[in-house]
Amino acid sequence: MCEHVLGITPATDGEKPPLRTSQAQTWALHLAAARQYYEREGHLRVPRKHIETIIIDGGGNGGSGEDHEVRELKLGAWISNQRSRAATLTPERIEQLTKTGMRWT
């Protein structure tokens, strides 16, 4: 009806908003960024304003590497927030960050 009366057509794939990421996906992205930073710098004393660029493999095309996305994550703020929320983090998340080289104080 919208198409015939108002001339509105359905959105194409390029016009649709990106899918929202879950909290678990967001955690995994930031943890990957923290690991990348640690491997490069040798520590997790990340400046609060630091933005880490990571490449996410889309998993398509049989692993040919053509389907990927570049993301910029505010890693410094995230690390600071995890330190301040340490009392409320799950033991699994604390262990993951500790193995990555997190200093908690």
Q: What is the pTM of this model?
A: 0.74
What share of residues in the chain are helix, strand, coil (percent, to 5)? 50, 10, 40
Cα(40)–Cα(71) distance, integer angstroms: 17
Which of 8-22, 24-38, 54-68, 76-90 has the lowest average pLDDT? 54-68
Neighbours of 96 (CB within 10 A): 17
Whether the CB-CB separation of 73 and 52 falls below 8 Å is answered with: yes
pLDDT in the model for residue 94: 96
| Mean pLDDT for the stretch of residues 21-25 | 89
**Phi, psi at 24, each rounded to 5°:** -65, -40
